[in-house]
């Protein structure tokens, strides 16, 4: 199972963001934890991070066109703004897992607006890096 892992804006600077919401791990640390969770299974992870909405849309389109079997995505701030990411995810027919480090539904009102949840098949949020590991475990259980 080829799995595309997408991280949106500012997640490349994890480790420097507010620790009370995002913890202390870097994105490389999180990717390593995910790889470890996938080890020995049929899951092959491909990691992508961008600060640009259109680049994320283009990457999701690769999955729509057949390059990937599942998507794990933390759209970061674009979760709350992006119709374009919603529309791209809507076209992908495999598992689409929304992930957040923080308790995104229990924070400011603007973070309660969510353009991706309705087109995702599962959500893991509020467990810091554990949310990403949970997403891998969820896919392993589906194999």
- Residues with a catalytic annotation lie at 22, 100
Q: Report how far residue 22's alpha carbon sits from residue 18's, in angstroms, rounded to the nearest whole number.
A: 6
Shortest Å, Cβ 66 to ligand DQA: 27
CA 75 – CA 108 distance, rounded (Å): 17
Q: Does 86 bind ligand DQA (CB under 6 A)?
A: no
Report the SS3 class of residue 60: helix
Is residue 89 a contact point for ligand DQA (CB under 6 A)?
Answer: no
C-beta of 67 vs 112, nearer to ligand DQA: 112
Q: Which is nearer to ligand DQA, 11 or 63 (CB)?
A: 11
Determine the Cα–Cα distance for residues 90 and 88; give it in Å rounded to an integer: 5
How big is the chain by its Cα radius of gyration, in Å?
Answer: 14
Q: Is 111 in the site for ligand DQA (CB under 6 A)?
A: yes
Show the site string, 11-40: x = touches ligand DQA by CB under 6 A, - = not.
Answer: ------------------------------
Short-list 4, 40, 41, 7, CA closest to 25? 7
Determine the interface stretch with ligand DQA among 32-40, 71-79, 81-89, 112-120 (rule: CB under 6 A).
Answer: 71-79
Q: Is 27 helix (H, G, I), strand (E, B) or coil?
A: helix
Site for ligand DQA contains 7 (CB under 6 A) = no
Contact (Cβ atoms closer than 8 angstroms) between residue 115 and residue 84: no
# of chain residues touching ligand DQA (CB under 6 A)? 10
For ligand DQA, the binding residues (CB under 6 A) are: 10, 74, 76-77, 79, 100-102, 104, 111
């Amino acid at each position: 199972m080829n799995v595309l892992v997408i991280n949106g804006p500012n997640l490349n600077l994890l480790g420097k963001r507010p620790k009370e919401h995002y913890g202390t791990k870097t994105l490389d640390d999180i990717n390593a934890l995910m790889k470890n969770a996938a080890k020995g299974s049929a899951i092959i992870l491909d990691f992508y991070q961008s600060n640009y909405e259109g680049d994320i849309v283009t990457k999701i389109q690769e999955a729509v066109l057949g390059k990937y079997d599942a998507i794990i995505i933390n759209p970061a701030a674009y979760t709350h703004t992006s119709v374009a990411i919603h529309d791209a995810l809507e076209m992908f027919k495999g598992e689409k897992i929304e992930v957040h480090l923080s308790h995104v539904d229990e924070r400011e009102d603007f973070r309660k607006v969510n353009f991706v949840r309705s087109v995702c098949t599962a959500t893991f949020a509020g467990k810091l890096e554990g949310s990403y590991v949970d997403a891998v475990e969820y896919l392993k259980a589906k194999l």
